[in-house]
Structure 1
């Protein structure tokens, strides 16, 4: 398995996905994990991860500044993400493993990691796409601020649109998080086979409690260096918060997660704005249990959101935009509220805060739906079936040096 990150500790979406799937897959499969890791990440006690798999960590430098990133983008036909995650050391590590061990399957997380594989491979390649990257960048470009950033972001989206479908065509099978993503893949790369490999949540760890909820507080969480999360909070504070506080003057929004940006810190510095930054916490469950609701006002990004699944599993009522709930298959007004205008969003928040019975009804159905459709046990079972189908196939995979397309032999 090749990943662009060290999946321990599981403090973000992709890391949590890989770690939770590994915990379940290693019951039936012997897995070797080759991943990138920064020095500060390698300083953690990695023994829980090493107990699950053979672990090889390749160093990766810190992300470049915005100006250096812009320079990298302008000086290459490749997207900056591909340039950041190409590594001779990583490729050599993979080649050494393939020489000394027999593998039945190679699992690659994210299309930009595929470039670190040798050109000729005798085993199937399963490419898992946690998000459709070109779509995420395009959505980012549409709403980015300052506005002068938008052309550069649109250029990156255009590059991704060229290279990402090429990677899909080079894999034996592409894993997608939702039927929505499957349709996008099939439109962009007709004929590429896909399989559903959805995100999940630990429904035994995240579960409802009997703590009384605060009707004047909502929660949002994420990594705020990731633009869609920062944009979601700024949009909420600018467009939605004034409408809510006109009816509930004491209403506050609490942010969980790391790397609050200067723009968010400035907003939180004024108590009259109603924004609180709690930061990265060891356990999000007490906050999800006490909050009146969870808001997800995302306007950009792609993929399915772990934060929503965790909130629903804890029985926390959720109000989200359509994009925030994209790919989950949730029904508006049954599992959560899904609304897209500032006024409709504010009205949905106020309704749930003012009507505890309605909030409890939504919480009940949301929790049951997550247990049925989005537990890690179910996600791991689906991925295990994918592995077995590929390992049992008589087809062999070779990545052509000229086209990088899979050739059947």
Structure 2
């Protein structure tokens, strides 16, 4: 049976810029096995290319070019609407909604996949057409928004965060109940979704995955050395969008507490922070210390993963599952992570990675891996087998096939 699928995204899926685009591109490639795929994307910029490999139809719109002044005022007054949300307003305007309706009419999809809750405002357009709808929820966003933060310093900012979290929960609940299926990253998220929103809609685990072939050069150490990395043996890597709150806190723990103590025993060690939108603090410390390398956005992450002796993931907050760990596993890069960083993946401490939860434990784990080459090799091989068996695109296809079969 051929299935025509339309993905609605708030960013273009390639070039890969992080976990969101990695998951979207994964799911698009998996759905290509079932039939033609179209993509409708909305953002505040215009790419300089017009096709996506394997995608039959791609329509992209810059909402900043098409949003009216009245809509800008509506965006600023989001808190007056019952479930208004600034992040859901960001990729939406009435012009793009009309263009989505035109694409639905022309492409006639059997299945529409809305990625993330931020595309909620387009649901009313999709529901006008005879198709099945899937909500691909990368995180339980209302739960994530309610986690301790958040560095809210003023009463006004705290009030705004409280209102936004309440609105977000209502929006996520409505979207969950108005679609045919919800796809989630892990069993942990399935249980959380049921606790928060009930069991009315079928929930399926579609795990985050990686295309193993894209990491073969890294696994086999075939990349040229990264210019700034002087000593691969003692280089710690952290990967992710660095302004994203959970990543920001983790990176600052590395900068402020972990790296300085490691430096005392390993004076030649380096800290490699790879990802877009680094904070001013990160840039400032890198300016002062040549052994702290902050790359900003990079064309591909694999050379940097290959250049590191290990990835350290001291995450304390977050949701879903961390694609950064899967990228490390596929690249043969050993990992030291907190329990939060590794949640949902089924990775076992001492077999696939080292799980350490305090600053002292993380430092002990780093030094243990540097002093025990046989352990590094064991973790590397076991982690690669785990990602190959459970988190490759082939494994993801099996989960999608089950979900799709249950739609009919």
TM-score in terms of structure 1 length = 0.85
Which residue number in structure 1 is paired with residue 180 of structure 2? 172
For the 8 Å contact 1:179–1:327, the answer to whether it is kept is yes
For the 8 Å contact 2:42–2:92, the answer to whether it is kept is no
Deviations 1:35-55 (A, max 9, x none): 113334x21x34344x42211
Give, in whole Å, the separation in 2 of the partners of 1:72 and 1:228: 27
* 5+ residue gaps, structure 2: 1-6, 66-72, 226-230
**Residue 209 of structure 1 pairs with residue 220 of structure 2:** yes
Match of 2:270 among 249, 252, 262: 252
| Higher mean C-alpha displacement, 331-340 vs 115-124 | 115-124
Match of 1:320 among 331, 337, 343: 337
Which residue number in structure 2 is paired with residue 379 of structure 1? 396
Matches within 5 A, 1:126-205: 126-139=134-147, 142-145=148-151, 147-148=153-154, 152-191=160-199, 192-205=201-214
**Residue 231 of structure 1 pairs with residue 249 of structure 2:** yes
Give, in whole Å, the separation in 1 of the partners of 2:385 and 2:194: 31
Give, in whole Å, the separation in 2 of the partners of 1:231 and 1:60: 31
Match of 1:85 among 87, 91, 95: 91
Which residue number in structure 1 is paired with residue 4 of structure 2? none
Deviations 1:355-388 (A, max 9, x none): 1111111111111111111001221332243234
Which residue number in structure 1 is paired with residue 356 of structure 2? 339
1:167/1:238 Cα in 2 relative to 1: closer, same or farther (>3 Å)?
Answer: same
For the 8 Å contact 1:143–1:300, the answer to whether it is kept is no
For the 8 Å contact 1:318–1:337, the answer to whether it is kept is yes
Give, in whole Å, the separation in 2 of the partners of 1:55 and 1:247: 53
Q: In the TM superposition, what is the alpha-carbon distance from 1:18 to its structure 2 partner?
A: 1.9
| Higher mean C-alpha displacement, 346-355 vs 15-24 | 15-24
For the 8 Å contact 2:104–2:129, the answer to whether it is kept is no
Greater RCO, 1 or 2 (C-alpha within 8 Å, sep 6+):
1
Which residue number in structure 1 is paired with residue 296 of structure 2? 279
Deviations 1:317-376 (A, max 9, x none): 001112211211211111111221111111111111121111111111111111111001
Which residue number in structure 2 is paired with residue 395 of structure 1? none
TM-score in terms of structure 2 length = 0.86
Give, in whole Å, the separation in 2 of the partners of 1:111 and 1:151: 22
Which residue number in structure 2 is paired with residue 363 of structure 1? 380
Count of aligned pairs: 380
For the 8 Å contact 2:63–2:96, the answer to whether it is kept is no
| Higher mean C-alpha displacement, 377-386 vs 203-212 | 203-212
Matched position secondary structure for 2:339: coil
1:361/1:72 Cα in 2 relative to 1: closer, same or farther (>3 Å)?
Answer: farther
Give, in whole Å, the separation in 1 of the partners of 2:319 and 2:74: 21
| Higher mean C-alpha displacement, 150-159 vs 371-380 | 150-159
Give, in whole Å, the separation in 2 of the partners of 1:194 and 1:255: 35
